[in-house]
Chain A
Amino acid sequence: MTRAKAESAGGEQTSLIGKDKAFAVLCEESLGSAEPLSLEEQFIEAVLKWLRSWFDDKESAELRTMAPCVFVFAGDEEPVKVLPDLKSAPSFKSSTDASLSGHVHVSALQMRKVVRKKVGFSDVSEAVSWMHDNGLQTYTCIAVSLKAREALILRQGVDPDDCSKVAFAEKNSSVFDFSQVPALLDDFHNRHTKTHLGHCRIWAKASERVLKQLPEQQIQGSLLSFFEFTVRPHVMVDEEIATYKGRCDVRLARWKRLTDDPDTGVFEVCYLELKVLYPKKSAIWNQEWALSGIQQLLDYREAKPAPGPSYLCCYDGRLADADIPAVEKRAKEVGVFSKRFFLQTPKCKGVS
Chain B
Amino acid sequence: MRNEPDLPREHVRAWLLILVGASSTAGLTPLPVQLFHRMVFLSNSLAQLYETQPPAELVLKQDRGPYYPQAEFELERLAIQGLVNMTDMRWTEGAERQMEASFSLSSAGLSCVRRLVAKSSWCASVHSFLIDLAAAVAHVDEGYEVSTADRDLTYSQPGIQDRAVISFRSWGERLSQRATEEIASLSPPGCEPSRQHQLRLYLKYLERLAA
Question: Which residues in A have some Cβ–Cβ distance to B below 8 Å?
Answer: 1-12, 15-19, 21-26, 28-29, 31-37, 39, 42, 75-79, 91, 93-94, 107-113, 236, 241, 253, 255, 265, 267, 304, 306
Contact = CB atoms under 8 A, between A and B. Distances in A.
Interface string B160-179: 11011111101011010011
19 contacts: A6-B173, A10-B172, A19-B186, A22-B183, A26-B183, A29-B204, A31-B193, A35-B194, A36-B195, A108-B26, A109-B26, A109-B27, A109-B134, A110-B27, A110-B139, A111-B27, A112-B27, A112-B28, A255-B187
B131 A39 contact: yes
A267 B110 contact: no
Contact of B142 (A9, A25, A112): A112
A8 B175 contact: yes
A17 B156 CA distance: 13
Given A32-B197, A42-B135, A304-B189, 17 more contacts: A1-B163, A7-B159, A11-B172, A16-B178, A21-B209, A22-B205, A25-B208, A26-B201, A33-B194, A94-B141, A108-B24, A108-B138, A110-B26, A110-B135, A112-B28, A236-B191, A265-B186
Interface string B74-105: 00000000000000000000000000000010
Contacts of B11: none
A16 B179 contact: yes
Contacts of B154: 6
Of all A-B residue pairs in the complex, the 8 with the closest CB atoms, nearest first, are A112-B27, A108-B27, A32-B197, A36-B196, A9-B172, A113-B27, A267-B188, A110-B138
Contact of A24 (B26, B170, B189, B208): B208
A265 B183 CA distance: 13
Contacts of B159: 4, 7
A112 B26 contact: yes
A240 B189 CA distance: 15
Which has the most chain B C-beta neighbours within 10 Å: A7, A31, A111, A267? A31
Given A16-B179, A76-B21, A304-B190, A32 B200 contact: yes
Nearest to A253: B191
Interface residues of B, number: 58
A112 to B, nearest CB: 3
A111 B135 CA distance: 11
A6 B173 CA distance: 5
B132 interface: yes
A7 B138 contact: no
Nearest to A6: B173
B179 A1 contact: no
A29 to B, nearest CB: 6
Contacts of A241: 190
Contacts of B172: 6, 8-12
Contacts of B204: 25, 28-29
Interface string B43-84: 000000000000000001000000000000000000000000
B164 A1 contact: yes
B165 A1 contact: yes
B208 A21 contact: yes
B33 interface: no
Given A1-B163, A6-B172, A25 B26 contact: no
Which has the most chain B C-beta neighbours within 10 Å: A6, A10, A29, A107? A6
Contacts of A17: 153, 179, 182-183, 205
Nearest to A7: B159
B25 A109 contact: yes
A66 to B, nearest CB: 26
Given A21-B208, A108-B27, A3 B165 contact: yes
Nearest to A110: B138
B121 interface: no
B27 A31 contact: no
B113 interface: yes
A75 B170 CA distance: 36
A22 B25 CA distance: 28
A230 B109 CA distance: 40
B158 interface: yes
Interface string B128-150: 00011011001101100000000
Nearest to A304: B190
A7 B175 CA distance: 10
Which has the most chain A C-beta neighbours within 10 Å: B141, B163, B178? B178
